[in-house]
Amino acid sequence: MTDRLRGTSRVLLLLLLGGVAWAQVKQESRTLVVNGQAGDAAVVQINGRTYVDLENLARIANGSLGFRGNQITLTLPTSAAKVPPASAPADSPDSGQPAPSGLSRNFVMAAIETISQMREWASTLAYAIQNGYGVTESWVAGYREQAASSLRVARAAASTDADRNALQLLTNEFETVKEWSTKLVEAKKTMDTAKYQTSPDALRNEPLSQKIITCGHFLGAMLGSGEFKDDPSCH
């Protein structure tokens, strides 16, 4: 592969996952979940958006990446979700009904979308606060409602005990982001956000921010595993 093509292969694919975007440009390792398949990938955050290398995406999704001239071809399997044991055909991914001890495929997909919406809400608000932009309750309400709508879909998709247990953690994360968002809107009203503009890590290092980030990482890994797990950060 030529250096030019190798450079082109680093074109970053926009994905709404990863933690809250706190600095204008930031690179770190995250757990990337693609159709239920999880793996570690380096991501870059630029202006409140999160990007991941196409080669990492193809690797995690068991896909392929090809190059011909100026064209890049990314091929992903139609379903990257793990196939349950053959002894339980009714529990196949296509049926949306997994083994009773696991997370259902429908719930996993709805939960991943909910996490994406929460992170868009949080990252956009964080970027606005850090850069001194105007922030109002009505502006934040649109992002909050999108996340709430996705959470309602996840709630409707919960069909197993594991789903319902995971839903509680997902709901806890939503409530934490909501609390964090309300505090920032109130701080903006009282002109108490200047401290977040002096350091790129000032907002990120606050306890409530760390709680959101830690729980978000945990939820992503749990959903990728297909099994319910618990973690103190989501309580």
- Among left, alpha and beta (phi > 0; psi -120 to 50; other), residue 208 is alpha
What is the DSSP annotation of 129-143?
Answer: HHTT----HHHHHHH
Confirm if 74 and 29 have CB atoms less than 8 A apart: no
10-residue block means of pLDDT along the chain (235 residues)?
Answer: 41 39 54 68 64 71 65 62 43 49 92 96 93 91 96 97 97 98 92 83 91 96 95 96
- What integer pLDDT is reported at residue 18 of this predicted model? 43
What pLDDT score was predicted for residue 79? Answer: 46
The separation between CA 132 and the C-alpha centre of its own chain, rounded to angstroms, equals 25
Neighbours of 15 (CB within 10 A): 19
Rounded to two decimals, the pTM is: 0.61
The domain locations on the chain are 3-234
- Nearest Cα neighbor of 170 from 105, 227, 102, 118 is 118
DSSP 60-74: HTT-EEEEETTEEEE
CA 120 – CA 131 distance, rounded (Å) = 17
Can you tell me the distance from the alpha carbon of 31 to that of 219, in angstroms, rounded to the nearest whole number?
Answer: 10
Backbone conformation region of residue 47, classed left if phi is above 0, alpha if psi is from -120 to 50, else beta:
left
- DSSP secondary structure letter of residue 191: T
Going by the DSSP 8-state scheme, the letter that residue 23 receives in this structure is: S
Alpha carbon 66 to chain centroid distance? Answer: 27
- Please give the Cα distance from 129 to 196 (Å, whole number): 7
Question: In Å, how far from its chain's centre is CA 214?
Answer: 12
